[in-house]
Amino acid sequence: MKAIVMHSFGGPEVLAAEDVAPDRPGAGQVLVQVMAAGVNFMDTGIRRGLGQANPLPLTPGVEGAGVVVAIGPGVTELSPGDRVAWHYVPGSYAEMIVAPVAQLVPLPDDISFETAAGLMMQGLTASNLVFQVHGIQKGDWAFVHAAAGGVGLMLTQMIKLLGGKVIGRVSHEDKVDAVLAAGADYVVIGRAGAVARHVERLVGAQSMKVVYDGTGAEGFDESIRLLDYFGTLALYGPFMDPIAPVDIFSLPRSIKLTYPSVMHHVRTREALLAYSQQLFTWVRTGRLRVQIGRRYPLAQAEQAHRDLESRRTAGKLVILP
């Protein structure tokens, strides 16, 4: 089978397709034919060796959807031919992957593989942000940085589903329509470090109940400026621009600052199944739309990373092995 294999950490050029032998599923595992794999900023961090570096060589990618082709000993929950999706199974940039049954969710027939690969990681991330990190209430104003990205579009739609109001920020004018189509009340254009005055003209100073920021240091001060008293600054994702240590005594007013993990949102099998089913129901009923920005064959994983890191894309990038 073909898989993307990294032999060193670095830029997108370290991603190369190679012939590898598929592993056999062990106890509690299944072998899955990958029909679509999601591309995430997490993948670029792994590629660069950020955080706890994984041993080399490695196959990146953590999210996807496919079909079970073989089961390991003791597996009764799934059978060959079953459609499944996952938000975290390392090695997903491949034609086949061995996955723990505990990390897989049944994929309904009316949800496409592409949609599922664009939904799982970013959908569950957004679900965590609007339910547990800050429970959106009717009328809450929320500010979403990078609103045209995969998580940004999910967040915008979910905030509106729950009765909130959204101001989205985009870096370029050509991304405005996608954010408005997702339901944003307003869209501002510009860098993360220079948007507060635009927001204040629209809805007043310190008007945000929550700011969702996956940009890092660039937007940190502006995000705090936007928040109401006891508002929440929810940071997420692997920052391309890391935040310096924060002196909490320098914060201008009482706010909540958090860096949540989607893993904690679905830390039990029951939670993973329940929140995934909620996402599927929203998609099936037309209340949540997964926008696929670009599609790539497996051999073009390098280009997918270049496009993602350019910040010029809108919607979800997926690899089709």
Q: Is 110 exposed, middle or buried (0-12, 13-18, 19+ CB in 10 A)?
A: exposed
**Per-residue pLDDT tens for 260-319?**
989 999 999 999 999 999 999 999 999 999 989 899 999 999 999 999 988 778 789 999
pLDDT at 244: 79
% of the chain beyond a pLDDT of 70: 98
Helix axes 196-203, 217-226, angle to 10 degrees: 20
Tell me whether strands 208-213 and 141-144 are parallel, antiparallel or unpaired.
Answer: parallel
**Per-residue pLDDT tens for 154-170?**
999 999 999 999 999 99
Question: Can you give the residue ranges of every domain in the chain?
Answer: 2-119+265-320, 138-259
| Through-space distance between the first and last CA atoms of the chain, rounded to whole angstroms | 10
- pLDDT grade for 71, boundaries at 50, 70 and 90: very high
SS3 (DSSP) at 94 = strand
**Per-residue pLDDT tens for 183-200?**
999 999 988 778 889 899
Specify the pTM. 0.91
**Domain 2-119+265-320 superfamily per CATH:** Medium-chain alcohol dehydrogenases, catalytic domain (3.90.180.10)
> What would the CATH number be for the domain defined by 138-259?
3.40.50.720
The beta-strand segments (E) located in the chain are 2-5, 16-19, 29-39, 63-71, 83-86, 96-100, 104-106, 141-144, 165-170, 186-189, 208-213, 227-235, 256-258, 292-297, 316-320
Weakest mean pLDDT among 65-69, 90-94, 120-124, 221-225: 221-225
Report the alpha-carbon distance of residue 134 to residue 66 in Å, rounded: 32
